[in-house]
A and B are shown apart, each in its own frame.
Chain A
Amino acid sequence: MLVVLLAVVFAAVRLLPGDAASATSERGEGAAGVAARRHLLGLDRPVWEQFADWMTALPSGDLGTSARGERVDDLLAAPFPNTLLLGGTAFLLTVAAALALGCWASLRPGGAVDRLVTLTSTAAFALPEFVVSVGLLLVLSLWTDWLPAATVTGADGTPASWTMLVMPVLALTIPQTGWNALVVRAALADQAAAPHVEAAVLDGLPPARVLLRHALPGALPVMATGFATSTGMLLGGAVVVETLFNYPGTGTVLAGAVADRDTPVIAGVVACAGAAVSLVLLLADLIRARTTGARP
């Protein structure tokens, strides 16, 4: 699956106007110089050959060389863990918040809480990360000075203080929580119609207990898929959020690499991100298999 995606990435970058040799050239570099670097970077070879080379080196952990001659693994060594930290924190927070909100809303379908949660979730999910980021920046930092506005790293390449994580994490979490709260809410509503839940209700069990003991387990597979879907969105959102908060992660690397037509770097980021998402999907599948006995 990932291989297909990476091949698509290689082909797509090839379709873009310009290539790495010209995109990273200095003004003043003559055509001969660009041609020489094109050869140096192996851009004059067929795209499938470049892809094959890159893929064969991959298992040994070698991600190739960037258009500017830096090793891609060096370029990603510091940012990738940072993005995992950011994305992971946002993911856990999203799961917790979405479950809490979704369950709270389904205790009284159609009730005031349900409406409120549905409405705010829709609103939150409708707001792109950059809108949320700008709002957070304005309120929590620039007007009040409560939180540092940008991320500054220490000698080890990680954020110098945990307070720098708060806003980027929130910016990623809010839209995703909106989406997942709706998914959880819908999954639980579906479960409510299931015979064993109806039976539990007729037995006169308290709603909270029905929810936790009877409805939630059945809703797990749908919710797991929803959360897995979120992982990809989190990584996409990271591109914008990291740039706005100057968070030293892979999102910023990716944004720049696309501008530079830097195929090995783009592919490297996608490979890392893809691996992370695949892992979450695998977990989701395992949960589905455990709860339903087989893949639907």
Chain B
Amino acid sequence: MTAAAASPPGSPHPPRPDPRRALRALPALLLTTLALAGPLLAPHSVDTPVTAPYAPPGGAALLGGDQLGRDVLSRLLHGGSALAASALLVAVVVTAVAAVIGCFAVLSRRLGGLVERTADVAILLPAVLGVMLLAMAWPGGGRWTVVLAAVVLGVPYAVRVVAGAAAPLATAGFVEAAAAGGEHLTHLALREILPNLRAVVAVLFGLRFVEAVYVVSMAGFLQIGPQPPAADWALMIRENAGGILLNPWAVVAPSITIGLLAISVNLATTARPAAGARRGRPDVSTP
């Protein structure tokens, strides 16, 4: 990571193509490619025992064996695609829904109140319990259960964030002018407010993705969604926790990949680590 020079105070940040952005997106691209192409690279099949249970690394298995003696490396290469895809889907849906609802919420008092209430209830319900209940009520759902639960639990918070960012815009001159011009509510929300929230939405998406990785892997850990013998990073951690002293790699490797996945995508989506991209905003620091 090269440290970016602090921008001089008062200088605007015009949205110009940033070569560093491509660099930022690189890890995410690499990891996603690896997650998706992993199955092609795996030396063994995911459910063939090749060594003793929890065999230490070496020989046929580069990262040792898991609880059934299957190859940890092969399972690691197989186990990322579904998790990454689910998390991505959740992040996209939540961000899109929240962005639209949030923009409407600031324009309509009733909807705004409703959003507040729903978010309050959602905060009271621990996400884990929500996922558990939903998964049990719909046992055949598999991964879709988790995606649904994560969306339902994620939207209220996200709407709050968008609404919070959009609130000043709703009273901004150009929106009021458009409203006075008799523009329809939909037009106001989607044409006037939403485009001005691009940066917020991008940051939100990054955070949502991380949150989605968290929920999906937590659910996987609680055995909701992926089912054995499927390889899944979160499931691997759970399945192999018992043998952590015999072959730590069976647990440590998927832990690392989950962390990396979340971080790399987050890097790619945040244009700048600061919640910047607001035009003409000076920094708090003095150079």
Contact = CB atoms under 8 A, between A and B. Distances in A.
A135 B278 CA distance: 39
Contact of B129 (A185, A225, A254): A254
A110 B139 contact: no
Contact of A111 (B6, B126, B241): B6
Contacts of A130: 218, 221, 237-238
A131 B127 contact: no
A110 B284 CA distance: 11
Determine chain A's interface SS by DSSP, over half rule: helix
A107 interface: yes
Interface in B201-237: 203, 207, 210, 213-214, 217-218, 221-222, 234, 237
Interface string A198-227: 100100100100110001000000100100
18 contacts: A2-B124, A16-B136, A16-B137, A107-B284, A108-B6, A115-B1, A119-B1, A119-B267, A122-B266, A125-B210, A129-B218, A131-B217, A134-B237, A134-B255, A190-B275, A232-B123, A258-B132, A296-B167
B180 interface: no
B282 A1 contact: no
A296 B168 CA distance: 11
Contacts of A231: 123
A252 interface: no
Given A119-B1, A182-B207, A128 B217 contact: yes
A32 interface: no
Interface stretch (B46-54, B72-80, B97-105, B244-252): B244-252
A129 B273 CA distance: 24
Contact of B258 (A128, A201, A204): A128
A131 B238 CA distance: 9
A107 to B, nearest CB: 6
Interface string B256-287: 00110111001100101111101001111110
A71 B1 CA distance: 57
Contacts of A228: 123
Nearest to B285: A108
B255 A215 contact: no
Contact of A201 (B121, B214, B286): B286
Nearest to B218: A128
Contacts of B120: 1, 281
A287 interface: no
A5 B121 contact: yes
B7 interface: yes
Given A110-B272, A119-B1, A128 B284 contact: no
Interface in A225-253: 225, 228-229, 231-233, 235-237, 239-240, 244
A189 interface: yes
A273 B120 CA distance: 14
A114 B127 CA distance: 30
A197 B284 CA distance: 8
Interface residues of A, number: 77
B204 to A, nearest CB: 11
B128 A207 contact: no
Contact of B244 (A142, A182, A198): A142
Contacts of B266: 122, 126
Given A201-B286, A232-B127, 10 more contacts: A1-B120, A108-B285, A126-B258, A127-B262, A130-B221, A131-B255, A134-B244, A142-B245, A193-B278, A240-B218
Contacts of B124: 1-2, 5, 232, 273-274, 277-278
A127 B254 CA distance: 11
A123 B262 contact: yes
Given A12-B137, A108-B6, A254-B129, A123 B221 contact: no
B3 A128 contact: no
Interface in B110-161: 117, 120-121, 123-129, 132-134, 136-137, 139, 157, 160
Interface in A170-203: 175, 182, 185-186, 188-193, 197-198, 201
Contacts of B5: 110
Contacts of A186: 203, 275
Contacts of B234: 128
Given A240-B128, A278-B124, A109 B139 contact: no
Contact of B133 (A125, A190, A258): A258
Interface string A97-128: 00000000011111110110011001101111
Contact of B259 (A9, A131, A189, A198): A131
Nearest to B131: A236
Contact of B273 (A15, A115, A131, A201): A115
Contacts of B244: 134, 137-138, 142
A111 B273 CA distance: 10
A4 interface: yes
